[in-house]
């Protein structure tokens, strides 16, 4: 869903770009992108390292022809292979397109709920509250606040350390395998 949303918003994407958005190895991202191309969701341009992907407009025309089931607030988007999505079909509620963007521009999560962007200040406050009494790994922090590990690792945590809001358990070994973070006293 993130891949298709990125293609819709940015016009195109690449494996390199998705490595910053998805907590997957680049080989796994390549496999997912190839599967989306095979299923007709995406079209690729170029080859090798410079491959870019964009939404397959021919596929989107076919999806728009899908009959609306029940009331007008839900569409069923078919997925015959079952390798992406929930099962053989994925239901996305209150959508205006097959990517999950609602008519208000919000994105739906895997459970069909509207995902809200958390303001950075609120996110940092939540992290500080969680890390107030003891040290936690980035994985534990990410799980607690509901954000991706890579996003915290590359964006939020370094900024909070730079502002002296958080301290490392191993301050002299930044990439220590058991690195943990706590609120600055």
pLDDT digits (tens, 9 = 90+) for 77-92: 444 444 444 333 333 3
Report pTM: 0.41
Report the pLDDT value the prediction gives residue 103, as an integer from 0 to 100: 41
pLDDT tens column, 52-107: 888 887 764 554 544 433 333 343 344 444 444 433 333 333 344 444 444 444 55
Largest CA distance in the chain: 60
51 and 101 assigned to the same domain: yes
In this structure, the answer to whether residues 109 and 129 fall within a common structural domain is: no
Split at pLDDT 50, 70, 90, the class of 3 is confident
Tell which of 61, 89, 115 closes a domain.
115
Whether residue 99 is found in the same domain as residue 138:
no
Closest CA to 75 of 99, 51, 42: 99
Q: Are residues 79 and 12 in the same domain?
A: yes
Residue 152 is part of which domain span? 120-183
126 in the same domain as 160:
yes
| Contact criterion met (CB below 8 Å) for 17 and 33 | no
> Where are any strands of DSSP class E within 56-127?
74-78, 89-93, 107-108, 114-115
Q: Write the CATH number for 15.
A: 1.10.10.10
Radius of gyration of the chain (CA): 20
pLDDT at 110: 53
């Amino acid at each position: 869903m993130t891949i298709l949303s990125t293609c819709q918003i940015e016009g195109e994407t690449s494996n390199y770009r998705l490595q910053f958005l998805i907590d997957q190895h680049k080989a796994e991202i390549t496999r997912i992108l190839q599967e989306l191309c095979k299923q007709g969701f995406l079209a690729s341009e170029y080859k090798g390292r410079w491959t870019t992907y964009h939404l397959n407009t021919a596929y989107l025309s076919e999806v728009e022809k899908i009959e609306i089931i029940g009331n007008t607030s839900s569409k069923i988007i078919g997925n015959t292979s079952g390798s992406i999505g929930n099962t053989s079909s994925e239901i996305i509620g209150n959508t205006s397109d097959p990517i999950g963007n609602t008519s208000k521009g919000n994105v739906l999560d895997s459970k069909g709920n509207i995902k809200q962007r958390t303001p950075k200040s609120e996110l940092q406050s939540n992290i500080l509250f969680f890390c107030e009494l003891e040290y936690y790994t980035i994985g534990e922090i990410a799980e607690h606040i509901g954000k991706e590990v890579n996003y915290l690792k590359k964006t939020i945590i370094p900024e909070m350390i730079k502002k002296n809001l958080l301290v490392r358990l191993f301050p002299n070994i930044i990439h220590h395998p058991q690195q943990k973070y706590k609120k600055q006293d």
